Amino acid sequence: MSTMSDNPDPVTPPATLHDAEIVKMARCTRCGLGYLPAKSTSALKLTYCSFFCELGDLGFSIVGLEHMELVKKPIAEVPPAPPPDPEPVAVE
């Protein structure tokens, strides 16, 4: 049996990709620049391109928030208020 045939299968050329289709880059919420999430230094890689954009937009970083500890302030005792001065009595 022969693998050769008179009608060869048509070979389709590989599809050509346009520049916009090759890599769809994410856009930073703060600065609007395109970036690759794998290269982002932010904890929120799909939102911000860098740690600085995360810090600037939120006012804090997620990593800092995770390591934050709640410290209760000691309650200072308030001294009691002194009694008001007695009102003068009118003399007739």
Helix residue ranges, H only, the chain: 19-22, 51-58, 62-67
DSSP per-residue string spanning 59-80: SS-HHHHHH----PPPPPPPPP
Kindly indicate the confidence band of residue 28, based on its pLDDT and cuts at 50, 70 and 90.
very high
**pLDDT tens digit string along 73-91?**
888 887 788 888 888 777 7
Q: What is the dihedral of CA 34, 36, 42, 46, to 10 degrees?
A: 80
Residue 7 has pLDDT above 60, yes or no: yes
State if pTM tops 0.85.
Answer: no
Q: 34 versus 3: which is more confidently predicted?
A: 34
- Rounded to whole angstroms, the Cα distance separating 68 from 82 reads 41
pLDDT on residue 62: 87
The amino acid that residue 86 corresponds to is P
